[in-house]
Structure 1
Amino acid sequence: MSVLSPDEAANVRTILPRPTPARIIAITGATGFVGTETLEQLLAADFSVRALTRRPQQERDSVIWVEGALDRPETLDELVTGADVVLHIAGVVNALDRAGFAAGNISGTQNVIAAMEKAGVNRLIHISSLAARNRDLSNYCWSKALAEDAVLASSLASTIIRPPAIYGPRDTEFSELLRIARYGVLPVPAIGRASLLHVRDLARLLVKLCGNEGDKYIGALWEVDDGTPGGLSHKELAAAFGRAFGKKIRALPVPSAAIMGIAGLDRFIRKQGAKLTPDRARYMCFPDWVANTARTPPADFWAATITPDIGLAEIAAPFRQ
């Protein structure tokens, strides 16, 4: 974990936000899967929030909705002005080509940084991905790595969080897997292990970082997960799905070549509507998406509380009815 020295941190904190109860948090991606849960927890912790949204939202106490987007810098100026902390969650997880990932993840992050520097807002919490470890693997990985590079090259007091696969209520990715798994089989890449993290645990970490105590971790780059040693193999994930459903679910290993072939076919048939792109297939077939335990937050600051068995049982409940 890379953290500023006490002297460096002391210098940065002279321009850091006011005490926790009075802090105003600006958040991108507030209407997405992670952002929705994070917004709820921020409000429960009595923060005031300025939230970016593409579409009009229902008015809420302690929330100022700012209509805009990452590619509209003037709206980012409005979003961050007067904020104490910026929580940058928004990004692109699927795109047709490198340009799409660059626009959503690299340029979007650069625009947030520029708006903060213009407004004199110094504290940034940037949500990245384990994908950033492997910038040459796919366009998605490349874009997440370059977004991190932009944050690290800035003058901001930043903390970077790399989550693994995130799941929980309202998640479409795991819901799709559950729809398949309820029939007793789960198609998975032939080899690989991955860490998981429930969205409520991730949001709890982000909210803690927005407070005074989080200022101690300026300069940190953390890989976070649910604490399962070594993550889960695909066979173990299928077994966990089985426990969530209360029945045996068999992992069906699919060779990488077959996954790439299916991705190419999906791209050919559905074109811009393709869900399994070749870029995403390369990401899926990579064998190691396990969080690095040397980069985890201090246990006395944050630790996950929701195990896969608890979290998967929760999201599987609607499919058992």
Structure 2
Amino acid sequence: MIVVTGATGNVGRALVERLLATGRPVRALTRDPQRAALPEAAEVVRFQQDDPAALFDGATALYLYAQATTPALLEAARAQGVRHVVLLSSAVIEEGADETHPIHIMHATAERQIRDSGLAWTFLRPGAFATNALSLAPQIRAGNTVRGVYADGLSAPIHEDDMAAVAERALLDGGHEGAVYRLTGPAAISNAEQVAAIGAALGRELTFVETDPREAGPELFPHVPPQMLQRLLQTFADTVGVAPEINDVVEKLTGTPARPFTQWARDHVEDFGGRA
């Protein structure tokens, strides 16, 4: 049995589907099982950390994301027989990084707690998620003009299913214990080019209009806590004109090259109001 936290998230859902396709039993943890809409073959369980031992009966491996990681959860998993944890961490953890950044603190804390738990572990450190572009969906559904910050900011966004594919290999194959994998998409693309790629997938011409970061607020970043917004904007500013890290770890571990953002856009046309 493999336990997947965040099973209704983009990466978690893709991982559940991949594991089920191999015939592995999967316990999918979610805070709202009634609305999970996960495959029938998955055992869907409410994620209640006040009784974590009930989550891991019969399980041997666990997929975690940083926000769900606690010492109590890890202790309960180990007590119930879990031996290996695969954590979706972040590429912000690297030598010379700003260790005061909230995103760094969150993921570094989760990694430290897992190291201290006595469980075998594998850390996945992806860079920019292609799914971050879903924040633009309301604007794109409403019209052909997209407001955003730093049109020339560069990243190498990674498809959620590529992250799930690496997590699948780490969970199912031997030899990944104690490994740290930095994951990227296959090519650099600017924020404005991402919008153009989404437009191409939809068969529309979208225009990116750069917004002064000093005027950016909840309308552009509705899910970002106010206390984190300025640090996040500085992170975006640091990407302007700076080539992102690009590697072939996805291909080395899965045998399939990482998918470009243009493919991600085609895979998500329905999310932007188009037809698949």
- The residue aligned with 1:79 is 55
The CA deviation string for residues 3-32 of structure 1, in whole angstroms up to 9 with x for no partner, is xxxxxxxxxxxxxxxxxxxxx201111122
Match of 1:296 among 241, 244, 249: 249
The CA deviation string for residues 28-87 of structure 1, in whole angstroms up to 9 with x for no partner, is 111223222211111111110122232344796543333233x32x2x212223212111
Say whether the 8 Å CA contact 2:148–2:220 is kept in structure 1: no
- The residue aligned with 1:221 is 180
Q: TM-score, normalization: structure 2? A: 0.79
Say whether the 8 Å CA contact 2:89–2:107 is kept in structure 1: yes
Report the Cα offset of residue 128 of structure 1. Answer: 1.1
SS in 2 for 1:217: coil
Report the Cα offset of residue 125 of structure 1. Answer: 0.5
- The residue aligned with 2:113 is 150
- The residue aligned with 2:195 is 238
SS in 2 for 1:240: helix
Structure 1 residues 59 and 145, CA gap change in structure 2 (3 angstroms): closer
Letter in 1 for 2:181: W
The CA deviation string for residues 251-291 of structure 1, in whole angstroms up to 9 with x for no partner, is 333344333xx35x999xxxxx8656240342243124976
- The residue aligned with 2:31 is 54
Tell me, yes or no, if structure 1 residue 257 matches structure 2 residue 220.
Answer: no
Match of 2:21 among 44, 67, 70: 44
Structure 1 residues 275 and 174, CA gap change in structure 2 (3 angstroms): same
Q: Percent identity?
A: 22
Report the Cα offset of residue 222 of structure 1. Answer: 1.2
Match of 1:67 among 21, 40, 46: 46
Tell me how many residue pairs correspond in the alignment: 264
Residues 18-167 of structure 1: pairs in structure 2 closer than 5 A: 24-57=1-34, 62-69=41-48, 71-72=49-50, 74=51, 76-89=52-65, 91=66, 104=67, 108-133=69-94, 134=97, 136=99, 138-167=101-130
Structure 1 residues 233 and 208, CA gap change in structure 2 (3 angstroms): same
SS in 2 for 1:158: strand
Q: Output the CA distance in 2 between the equivalents of 1:174 and 1:39.
A: 23
Letter in 2 for 1:54: R
Structure 1 residues 239 and 281, CA gap change in structure 2 (3 angstroms): farther
Letter in 2 for 1:217: H
Q: Output the CA distance in 2 between the equivalents of 1:256 and 1:145.
A: 28
Query: 5+ unaligned residues in a row in structure 2: which ranges?
Result: none
- The residue aligned with 1:308 is 261
Match of 2:164 among 198, 203, 212: 203
- The residue aligned with 2:273 is 319
Letter in 2 for 1:51: A
Q: Output the CA distance in 1 between the equivalents of 2:206 and 2:220.
A: 26
Say whether the 8 Å CA contact 1:178–1:316 is kept in structure 2: no
Say whether the 8 Å CA contact 1:223–1:295 is kept in structure 2: no
- The residue aligned with 1:176 is 135
Query: 5+ unaligned residues in a row in structure 1: which ranges?
Result: 1-23, 92-103, 268-272
Q: Output the CA distance in 2 between the equivalents of 1:151 and 1:50.
A: 20
Say whether the 8 Å CA contact 1:85–1:123 is kept in structure 2: yes
SS in 2 for 1:196: coil
Report the Cα offset of residue 294 of structure 1. Answer: 6.2
Letter in 1 for 2:185: D
Q: Output the CA distance in 2 between the equivalents of 1:191 and 1:60.
A: 40
